[in-house]
C-alpha cells in the first residue's frame, strides 16, 4: 500500500468491513454519498476522510519522515417514519453504533502503524424523522518521502 494513500485505502477497507457486518443497508464513501440524489436506504453509513495532520519530520536533514494522523468519520443515517423528532430512533441508533464500533475500533487497516481508535461521536441532526450521527476515528501511519530501507523510525512494512 502506498503510504501517500493510506487514508483513502483505509476508507475502502472500512466500507468493506462495515458491509460485512450486515448492520447497514448501504455503506458509501464520500464521493458516492455526494452523488446521491435522495436519502439512502437506511440504516446507511457514509465513510469520510475528514482531516489529515502530520508531525514534524523525525529526520528532516535526511528525508521527510513523519508520523501522520487521519481523522475518518463514519456517518450513520437512520429513518424513523412517523417520528418527526426522531425519539424512537434511540434504541435503533444505539444498536447500529455498537455494532459499527465493534467492527472497526481496535482494528488496523493495512499500512497503519496503529489500530483505528474511536475519538468521539456526536449528533449531526434530527429532521423530519431522519437522524444523522457521526463517529470519528483516528488512524496513524508513517509517511516517508522515499520510504527506503534504513529510514529511522519507519516500520519495515511501510518501506518501499
Asked if residue 156 is part of any domain, the answer here is no
pTM: 0.79
**Into how many domains does the chain fold?**
1
Residue 137 lies in a domain: yes
pLDDT band (50, 70, 90) for residue 62? low
Domain enclosing residue 139, as ranges: 3-146
Q: Left, alpha or beta for 16 (phi > 0: left; psi -120 to 50: alpha)?
A: alpha
Q: How far apart are CA 10 and CA 26, in angstroms?
A: 18
What CATH number is associated with residue 19? 3.30.2000.10
Residue 154 lies in a domain: no
Omega of the bond leading into 4 within 30 degrees of 0 (cis): no
Per-residue pLDDT tens over the stretch 66-96? 778 889 999 999 988 776 666 678 888 999 9
C-alpha cell at 18: 462495515
CA distance 121 to 3: 27
In a domain, 158, yes or no: no
Is residue 160 one of the residues assigned to a domain?
Answer: no
- Give percent of the chain above pLDDT 70: 75
Residue range 2-27: average pLDDT? 84
Amino acid at each position: 500500500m502506498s503510504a501517500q494513500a493510506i487514508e483513502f485505502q483505509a476508507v475502502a477497507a472500512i466500507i468493506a468491513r462495515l458491509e460485512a457486518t450486515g448492520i447497514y443497508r448501504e455503506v458509501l464513501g464520500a464521493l458516492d454519498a455526494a452523488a446521491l440524489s435522495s436519502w439512502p436506504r437506511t440504516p446507511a453509513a457514509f465513510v469520510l476522510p475528514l482531516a489529515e495532520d502530520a508531525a514534524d519530520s523525525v529526520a528532516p536533514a535526511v528525508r521527510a519522515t513523519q508520523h501522520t494522523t487521519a481523522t475518518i468519520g463514519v456517518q450513520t443515517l437512520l429513518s424513523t417514519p412517523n417520528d418527526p423528532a426522531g425519539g424512537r430512533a434511540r434504541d435503533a441508533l444505539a444498536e447500529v453504533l455498537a455494532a459499527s464500533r465493534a467492527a472497526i475500533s481496535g482494528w488496523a487497516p493495512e499500512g497503519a502503524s496503529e489500530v483505528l481508535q474511536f475519538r468521539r461521536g456526536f449528533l449531526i441532526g434530527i429532521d423530519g424523522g431522519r437522524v444523522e450521527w457521526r463517529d470519528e476515528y483516528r488512524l496513524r501511519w508513517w509517511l516517508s518521502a522515499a520510504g527506503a530501507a534504513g529510514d529511522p523510525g519507519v516500520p519495515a512494512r511501510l518501506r518501499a
